[in-house]
Structure 1
Amino acid sequence: MNSKQLRYFHEVARQKSFSKAAEILHIAQPAISMSIQKLESELDLKLFHRNDRKIRLTDEGERLFKHAEIILQNLADAELEMRELKGLTQGCVRIGIPGMLGSYYFPPILMAFKHRYPELSLEVIEAGTWKLQQMVEQGELDLGVIVSEFVPDTLHTEIFLRQQMLVTVGKDHAFATQQSVTYTDFFAEELVMFKDGYFHRKIVDRLANQIGAKPHIGFETNLIPLIKSIVKQGFGISTLLGMVIEKDDDLIALPFSQPVWLDLSIAWNKDRHLSQANRAFVNFMLDHRSSQNTKQVL
């Protein structure tokens, strides 16, 4: 058994088709078929059921597929790590960022990182924290920004930012003259919320469950400018991070009477090799955190 045979076997199993696997691997289909037949002969095991032009793994094939995934990932990680020993002259950082942070916190950080490491490429995906978590776990992303409150055991995290969720209302709203807002009063209002899967919505749902309230959601959108506009015109209220509220928004931001603080973390899969490029980005983020904390102390 060699890595080429495992790679062919793995792709055929993924695609459930010899022809599709051949197309993806850019080799002739007979070459894949012969390789799989040779592998089955060497192992003296049948790895695929071949019936009516449809194929599926045998029980033995299922067992080998699990090993193949681990072996091929380890090989890819080893090859990457060896290439990286030449230095940070190439590489790609694939990071997922929630919309609220992607619009207001990360742009200057991403630009500063690119300035320091001009030869590295950045691939930024915007999605909800639940989706980002899944993508990091499945290897579709190297890094993801998630709320520490919802971290699974499969991920390693480093907290880089602490922010308060603030009730956001228009200047003419009754809450505008208050010092804070209770959970009960908040959920008595019509709300403008992010869609399911975003940390903004997860936190609000948790608070509602905590007091047994049912949110009255009048608008659902992931567009922050639209949320601000709806709130400013008095068609609902929302809750946003403090960094999102700007002086010219004509909005009032108030804390909850029981403050809601979020620890935001950068996360990666514990079982995957973190490339030098991605490690450089994590270190850059943590250095930025340290410098911000120093400025606050001074």
Structure 2
Amino acid sequence: MDLGQLEAFLEVARHGRFHKAAEELYLTQPSLSARIQKLEIDLNVVLFHRTARGVRLTEPGRLLLPYAQRVLTAVSQARETLHAAEQLKGGSLRIGTARTVGAYVLPSILEEFHKNHPMVDANIRTGRSSEVLQMVVNEEVAIGLARNLRHPDILTLPLYEEEVVLVTHPDHMYANNEHVSIFDIAREPLILYDRESSFFQLIDSVCREASIVPNVSMELDSVEATKRMIERGLGISLLPIHSISLEVNENRLAKVKIKHDQEVTVPTAILIRDSAPYSPAVLAFIDILRDIYNTNIKLNG
């Protein structure tokens, strides 16, 4: 059974005559008859009663009719959907992001993407960077934005470096400092974010390199919860600068740069399967990233 046979069946059923259906499909009548015969052989049923005035559906033909209609309708819709996706007039873009990227960086990127491609839907999943990598590996998402993680099947394309700053209550003794050192930070109750995350591993490595043991007073798995604790004066923390813009502007939190020779940055990269072709939506999204970050992102293939 193929689509051509189902199409022939529907046209004969609609017109009740082989020659009318053949004209509609731009086929010769023998070609049309051959399609119907092949379909009847494949299904092992007779689909039409032949009469002097034309043809009419048999009982098996009547049973097949709604299924054939649904199949061809679904195929037509699939073609329209694929065409719309090619023209970026429909379809969806599946994105995986690290939690902090999804909360504080991705919204402005998607805002720009939506201005250019309003008909393309975005399906967003968040997780730790290691989880985002697995989403891309397993093709659960088409593209990921996360830390610089490596995998043999994945392209890791550096996108930007984000500064990490000390975050304090506005009344904290460090709040008005121009800079602080890692050693200053080690003296204060420190709230750390998500021990299982790559961000925690980065902060931990910085402390190890400086041969200091931070005074950890609290561990949380949420940046938002971390900020609320700092607002209550329960400690200080090291966080990506994008994550605190609102609270700093509203004077609910203060940010202090880390001394130049000890400064910490968090890299964010595009994670994408190392295999072409990429969908038009993915390519358009990468174009937006190129424009926003003024970087030359090169894909294979």
Q: Report the TM-score when normalising by structure 1.
A: 0.62
Who is 2:252 aligned against?
250
User: Residue deviations 1:156-203, cap 9 Å, x none?
Assistant: 233333321001111222322433222233233322222134343222
Q: Distance in 1 between matches of 2:256 and 2:151?
A: 31
| CA distance in 2: counterparts of 1:230 and 1:249, whole angstroms | 15
Worse overlay, 128-137 or 215-224: 215-224
Mark the CA change 1:202 to 1:91 in structure 2 (over 3 Å): closer, same or farther.
farther
User: Contact 1:129/1:197 (CA < 8 Å) preserved in 2?
Assistant: no
Partner of 1:134: 134
RMSD across aligned positions (CA): 2.8
Quick one: distance in 2 between partners of 1:135 and 1:208?
Answer: 30
Contact 1:130 1:197 (8 Å CA) reproduced: no
Cα 1:117–1:135 change in 2 (3 A) is same
In structure 1, the partner of 2:291 is 287
Structure 1 residues 86-97: aligned runs within 5 Å: 86-97=86-97
Contact 1:144 1:268 in 2 (8 A): yes
Identity between Structure 1 and Structure 2 (%):
21
Contact 2:162 2:241 in 1 (8 A): yes
Shift of 1:152: 4.1
Amino acid at match of 1:87: Q
The aligned counterpart of 1:121 is 121
Alpha-carbon distance in 1 for matches of 2:196, 2:87: 38
Shift of 1:153: 4.6
Cα offset for 1:125?
0.9
Deviation at residue 237 of structure 1 after TM alignment: 0.8
Tell me by how many angstroms 1:207 deviates: 1.1
1:189 maps to 2:193: no
Q: CA deviation at 1:101?
A: 2.3
- 3-state DSSP class of the match of 1:236? coil
CA contact (8 A) 1:193 1:217 kept: yes
Provide the rounded CA distance (Å) in 2 between the counterparts of 1:162 and 1:151.
Answer: 17
Aligned residue number for residue 172 of structure 2: 173
Looking at structure 2, the residues matched to 195 and 86 of structure 1 have their Cα atoms a distance apart, in angstroms, of 40
Q: 1:205 to 1:103 in 2, by over 3 A?
A: same
> Which secondary structure does the structure 2 equivalent of 1:126 belong to?
strand
Distance, in Å, in 1 between the alignment partners of 2:241 and 2:139 is 32
Alignment match of 2:273 (pick from 269, 272, 285): 269
Q: Distance in 2 between matches of 1:289 and 1:114?
A: 17
For 2:182 and 2:163, how far apart are their aligned partners in 1? 15
User: How many angstroms apart in 2 are the aligned matches of 1:219 and 1:182?
Assistant: 21
In 2, Cα distance between equivalents of 1:189 and 1:273: 51
Q: Which amino acid is the alignment partner of residue 237 of structure 2?
A: S
1:204–1:138: structure 2 CA closer, same or farther, 3 Å change rule? Answer: same
**Matched length:** 211
Query: How far 1:238 moved relative to its partner?
Result: 0.6
2-structure distance, mates of 1:152, 1:191 = 33
Distance 1:197 1:95 in 2: 22
